C-alpha cells in the first residue's frame, strides 16, 4: 500500500498513520509513518528478551538531518514538550509492501529509506539510498537509545550505558544487566553523550497514561557526500552475539521471505495479499514451549489461547502455512489440563493460566478447519483425537472454574466473580459484563464441539453416536431457553435459569458456526436484528446503541476504557462471523456474496488509515468509528482473511 504527501499535510494528520515490522519472536519495530513516536511502544528495536515476552525498548529512533550550504533540513518528526519537529514536510511517499519504504525529497536530492528486522533475530536494519544533487551534502544521524520494559517510560538518568567504539561498531553496555546493544554503521561516529528533551506521546495521553519519556543520546553519526553521486548509508542495531548478515542483506532477505509468503498463498487480490503479510506478524516462536504460537495483538498483547484458536484458520490455513498450523495445535494438546486449553502459556516460573470457557471449544473448531484444509487424519487420530475425547468427558462431568454440563445438556461456566468468556474485563472486583452461567456463544460452541466430535469419530471409524446424542439434547434445550420469542433474537446469557435480555453480538455464533443449532427462520431473524442494531463497516458493536449502558467512544484512563470495552465498542473480528451468517441465511446467493465482498473490502481502506497494512483491534461504537486499541490484532486480520477466502472466494 502506497501513500503520498496529501496524507500528512499536518503533523496531526501524519501521526494518525503507523507502521509495524516484526521478526517472528514477538519483537517489533514501529512508529508513525512520519517518524514521530506517539506511543511508549514505538521504537526501532523493541526486543523480546524471552520470546515472545519481556519486550524491552532499546533503540527508540534515529533522527536524520541534511546540511546543504550551511542550511539544515530535518527528515525526522518529534513532539517534545513545547516543540514539534516538522521533518514530515520532506516526506514524499510511503510504501509498506513488502517492507516499509520512505521516500524523501530535499531540493534536488532524493533519499529512500528501507527498514526491516532480521527474521527470528533481535536485529533491525535501516538502509538509506541517496542520489545527491548539485551541492555537497552532509548527513547527521542522532540515535535515541533506551532501556526499559515497553510498558514503561524512562526518566532522565534512569538507566546507564557504557560505550565503546571500534571499526564501525558502537557497543553500548547497559550497566545494571550487562546487556549489549550494538549499532553498526558505515558512518563516522562521534561520541557526545546527552539526554533528549522530554518526548511527548499523544496516544498515551489519550489513554490516560504517563506520556513523557526520556532517551539517552550516546553520540552522533556523520556522512559527507559529493554532488551528483549515489550513496548507500546503513545502520544495523542488534543485541545478538553474532551477526551473520549486513544491513543490506537483511533488507533483501526480508523482502524475499515476505514475497514468498504471498506467492505461496496464491492470491492476486490486493486486500488478500496485504492480509497474508499482516498474518505473518502474529505467528511467532515461544521460548518456553520451543514451538510456534500466536501473538494476540501489537503493541502490547502476548499470546492467548482464545485469540489463537479464533485467528487460527485465517492466519495459518488460508495462507497455506500448514506446518505452523499443526505445530500450534500440537502445542496446545501438551498443555491441556482438566479438559481446558491454556489461555496463557507458562513463562519462566509462572504456570499456564486456564481462565477461559470458550478457548477450548474454539480448539474443536480449529481442528475441524485443519482437517478441512489438510485432510491430515493421521495427525488428528494419533495426536489430537484422544485429547478431544478427554475434553468432552471433563466438560460433561464438570471441571475447573465451575465449567460443567448441566442436566439440560447445556454448558454452564463461572460464577459472579469470574470472567471466562471473550467479554472478559474485570477491574478489581468489578466484573464489567457479568456473563457467568450459560452464555449463548459458549453453548453454540459446545453444540458445535459435540457435532465435530461426532463427525471426526465417524471419519476415523469410531462410534460417534454418543456425541450426536449429547448434541441433540443441547440443541433442544438451547432453542427452548435462549430464544426470545417476543424480540425474535437470542438471550445473551442464562443466569440462575433466568434469561438476560440484552442485545449483544454473541448470538451471531449460533448462525455462523458450521453446525446449525437453529432453524433457518430463526437464523434469519437473528441476522436481521444484529444487522439493524450492531453492524458497522468495521465489525459489530458489543452492545446495542439502544441500551442504557451503551458507551460510544473508547478512551480515557483504564477505568473508562475497560468500562467501554464491551459496552458498545466495535470489534473487528466479529465481522467474519456476521458475514458468514449473512451469506448463509441468504442461501449463498450471488447477491449476498457480492454484498459480503463489499463489507469485507471496507477493511482495505482501513488498512491505509491506522497501522498501514494491518487491522485494528477495536473501533468507537459511534460514527465515524475511529480505530482504537491494538493497531494490529490477530483475530481481526485472521477473520477478515478467512471469511473473504471461504465465503467470497468460496
- Predicted confidence at residue 346, as pLDDT, reads 76
What is the spatial distance between Cα 116 and Cα 247, in angstroms, rounded to a whole number? 9
Which residues, including other chains, have CB under 8 Å from residue 186's CB and lie 6 or more apart? 168, 223, 232, 233, 234
Q: Are 215 and 144 in contact (CB under 8 A)?
A: yes
Is residue 261, in this structure, part of any structural domain at all? no
Give the pLDDT of residue 293.
96
Mean pLDDT within 497-511: 97
Is there a single domain that holds both residue 491 and residue 604?
A: no
* Range 378-406 average pLDDT: 98
Percentage of the chain exceeding pLDDT 70: 100
The answer to whether position 391 is within a domain reads yes
The reply to whether 526 falls in a domain is: no
pLDDT in tens, 75-104: 999 999 989 999 999 999 999 999 999 999
State the total domains in the chain: 4
Instruction: Give me the domain span that covers residue 33.
Output: 2-256
The residue out of 194, 223, 256 marking a domain boundary is: 256
Same domain? 345 vs 458: no
Looking at the structure, do residues 216 and 284 belong to the same domain, yes or no? no
Per-residue pLDDT tens over the stretch 202-238: 999 999 999 999 999 999 999 999 999 999 999 999 9
Residue 168 and residue 280 in one domain: no
pLDDT, greater one: 1 or 613: 613
In which band, very low, low, confident or very high, does the pLDDT at 45 lie, cut at 50, 70 and 90? very high
Question: d(Cα 46, Cα 619) in Å, to the nearest integer?
Answer: 26
Q: Do 34 and 123 reside in the same domain of the chain? A: yes
The domain boundary residue, chosen from 370, 397, 424: 397
**Per the structure block, which three cell numbers stand in for 107?**
531540493
Q: Are 449 and 392 in contact (CB under 8 A)?
A: yes
- Residue 603 covered by a domain: yes
Q: Are 511 and 523 in contact (CB under 8 A)?
A: yes
Q: Is the pLDDT of residue 350 over 90?
A: no
Find out whether 60 and 310 touch, Cβ atoms under 8 Å: no
Does residue 347 register a pLDDT over 80? no
Q: Does some domain include residue 525?
A: no
Tell me the CB-side half-sphere exposure of residue 353, using CA atoms within 13 A: 12
135, part of any domain: yes
Dump pLDDT digits (tens) for 568-608.
Answer: 999 999 999 999 999 999 999 999 999 999 999 999 999 99
Q: Is the pLDDT of residue 348 over 80?
A: no
The verdict on 565 and 636 lying in the same domain is yes
pLDDT of residue 544: 98
Is 97 within a domain? yes
> Residue 584 gets which letter from DSSP?
H
Give the residue from 497, 518, 539 where a domain finishes.
518
Q: Which residues contact 32 (CB under 8 A, 6 or more apart)?
A: 14, 15, 16, 17, 18, 19, 38, 42, 77
Question: Residue 105 sits in a domain of what CATH number?
Answer: 2.70.98.40
pLDDT digits (tens, 9 = 90+) for 427-476: 888 999 999 999 999 999 999 999 999 999 999 999 999 999 999 999 99
| Residue 386: its H or E element | helix 385-397
Confidence class for position 400, pLDDT limits 50, 70, 90: very high
- Same structural domain, 545 and 609: yes
Q: What's the pLDDT score for residue 501? A: 97
- Residue 431 shares a structural domain with residue 539: no
Residue 232's CB is within 10 A of a number of other CB atoms, namely: 11
pLDDT tens digits, one per residue of 529-565? 999 999 999 999 999 999 999 999 999 999 999 999 9
Which of 238, 273, 229, 28 shows the shortest CA–CA distance to 130? Answer: 229
Spatial distance between the Cα atoms of 346 and 352, rounded to a whole number of angstroms: 4
Mean pLDDT confidence for 64-85: 95
Quick check: is 523 in a domain? no
**The pLDDT of residue 292:** 96
Same domain, 205 and 77: yes
The answer to whether the Cα torsion of 257, 261, 264, 269 is positive or negative is negative
For residues 32 and 181, state if they share a domain: yes
With 90 as the cut, is the pLDDT of residue 192 above it? yes
Residue 114 to residue 127: CA distance in whole angstroms = 5
Q: Per the structure block, which three cell numbers stand in for 587?
A: 442461501
pLDDT at 345: 86
Whether residue 132 is found in the same domain as residue 236: yes
Instruction: Indicate if 497 and 566 belong to the same structural domain.
Output: no
What beta strand segments (E) does 186-327 contain?
A: 188-195, 199-200, 212-213, 216-225, 230-238, 283-286, 291-294, 297-298
Amino acid at each position: 500500500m502506497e501513500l503520498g504527501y496529501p496524507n500528512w499535510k499536518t503533523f496531526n494528520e501524519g501521526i494518525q498513520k503507523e507502521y509495524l515490522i516484526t521478526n517472528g519472536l514477538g519483537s517489533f519495530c514501529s512508529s508513525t509513518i512520519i517518524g514521530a513516536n506517539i506511543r511508549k511502544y514505538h521504537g526501532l528495536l523493541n526486543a523480546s528478551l524471552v520470546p515472545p515476552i519481556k519486550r524491552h525498548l532499546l533503540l527508540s529512533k534515529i533522527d536524520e538531518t541534511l546540511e546543504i550550504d550551511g542550511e539544515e533540513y530535518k527528515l525526522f518528526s518529534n513532539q517534545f514538550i513545547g516543540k514539534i519537529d516538522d521533518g514530515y514536510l520532506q516526506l514524499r511517499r510511503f510504501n509498506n509492501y513488502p517492507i516499509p519504504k520512505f521516500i524523501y525529497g530535499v531540493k534536488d536530492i532524493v533519499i529512500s529509506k528501507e527498514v526491516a528486522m532480521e527474521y527470528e533475530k533481535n536485529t533491525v536494519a535501516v538502509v538509506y539510498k541517496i542520489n545527491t544533487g548539485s551541492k555537497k551534502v552532509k548527513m547527521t544521524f542522532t540515535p535515541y537509545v533506551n532501556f526499559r520494559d515497553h510498558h514503561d517510560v524512562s526518566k532522565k538518568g534512569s538507566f546507564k550505558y557504557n560505550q565503546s567504539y571500534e571499526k564501525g561498531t558502537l557497543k553500548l553496555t547497559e550497566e545494571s544487566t550487562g546487556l549489549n546493544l550494538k549499532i553498526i554503521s558505515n558512518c563516522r561516529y562521534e561520541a557526545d553523550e546527552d539526554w533528549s528533551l522530554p518526548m511527548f506521546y499523544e496516544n498515551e495521553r489519550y489513554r490516560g497514561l504517563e506520556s513523557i519519556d526520556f532517551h539517552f543520546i550516546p553520540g552522533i553519526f556523520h556522512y559527507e557526500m559529493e554532488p551528483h553521486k549515489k550513496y548507500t548509508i546503513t545502520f544495523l542495531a542488534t543485541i545478538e552475539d553474532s551477526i551473520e548478515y549486513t544491513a543490506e542483506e537483511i533488507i533483501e532477505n526480508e523482502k524475499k521471505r515476505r514475497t514468498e509468503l504471498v506467492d505461496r498463498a496464491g492470491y492476486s487480490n490486493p486486500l488478500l495479499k496485504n492480509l497474508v503479510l499482516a498474518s505473518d506478524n502474529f505467528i511467532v516462536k515461544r521460548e518456553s514451549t520451543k514451538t510456534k504460537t500466536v501473538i494476540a495483538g501489537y503493541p502490547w498483547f502476548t499470546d492467548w489461547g482464545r485469540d489463537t484458536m479464533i485467528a487460527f484458520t485465517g492466519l495459518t490455513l488460508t495462507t497455506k502455512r500448514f506446518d505452523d498450523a499443526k505445530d500450534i495445535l500440537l502445542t496446545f494438546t501438551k498443555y491441556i489440563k482438566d479438559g481446558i486449553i491454556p489461555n496463557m502459556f507458562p513463562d519462566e516460573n509462572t504456570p499456564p493460566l486456564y481462565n477461559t470457557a470458550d478457548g477450548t471449544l474454539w480448539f474443536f473448531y480449529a481442528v475441524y478447519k485443519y482437517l478441512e484444509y489438510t485432510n491430515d487424519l493421521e495427525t488428528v487420530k494419533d495426536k489430537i483425537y484422544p485429547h478431544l475425547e478427554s475434553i468432552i468427558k471433563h466438560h460433561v462431568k464438570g471441571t475447573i472454574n465451575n465449567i460443567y454440563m448441566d442436566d439440560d445438556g447445556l454448558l454452564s461456566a463461572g460464577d459472579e466473580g469470574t470472567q471466562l468468556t471473550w467479554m472478559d474485563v474485570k477491574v478489581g472486583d468489578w466484573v464489567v459484563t457479568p456473563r457467568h452461567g450459560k452464555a449463548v456463544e459458549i453453548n453454540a460452541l459446545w453444540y458445535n464441539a459435540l457435532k465435530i466430535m461426532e463427525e471426526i469419530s465417524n471419519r476415523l471409524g469410531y462410534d460417534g453416536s454418543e456425541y450426536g446424542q449429547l448434541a441433540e439434547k443441547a440443541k433442544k434445550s438451547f432453542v427452548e431457553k435462549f430464544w426470545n420469542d417476543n424480540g425474535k433474537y437470542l438471550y445473551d446469557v442464562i443466569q440462575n435459569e433466568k434469561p438476560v435480555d440484552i442485545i449483544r453480538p454473541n448470538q451471531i455464533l449460533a448462525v455462523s458456526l458450521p453446525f446449525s443449532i437453529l432453524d433457518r427462520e430463526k437464523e434469519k431473524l437473528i441476522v436481521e436484528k444484529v444487522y439493524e442494531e450492531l453492524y458497522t463497516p468495521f465489525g459489530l458493536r458489543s452492545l446495542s446503541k439502544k441500551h442504557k449502558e451503551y458507551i460510544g467512544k473508547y478512551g480515557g484512563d483504564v477505568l473508562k476504557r475497560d468500562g467501554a470495552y464491551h459496552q458498545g465498542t466495535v470489534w473487528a473480528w466479529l465481522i467474519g462471523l456476521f458475514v458468514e451468517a449473512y451469506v448463509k441465511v441468504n442461501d449463498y446467493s450471488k447477491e449476498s456474496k457480492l454484498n459480503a465482498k463489499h463489507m469485507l473490502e471496507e477493511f482495505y481502506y482501513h488498512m491505509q488509515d491506522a497501522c498501514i497494512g494491518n487491522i485494528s483491534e477495536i473501533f468507537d461504537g459511534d460514527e465515524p468509528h475511529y480505530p482504537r486499541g491494538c493497531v494490529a490484532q490477530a483475530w481481526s486480520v485472521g477473520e477478515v482473511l478467512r471469511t473473504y477466502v471461504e465465503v467470497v472466494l468460496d
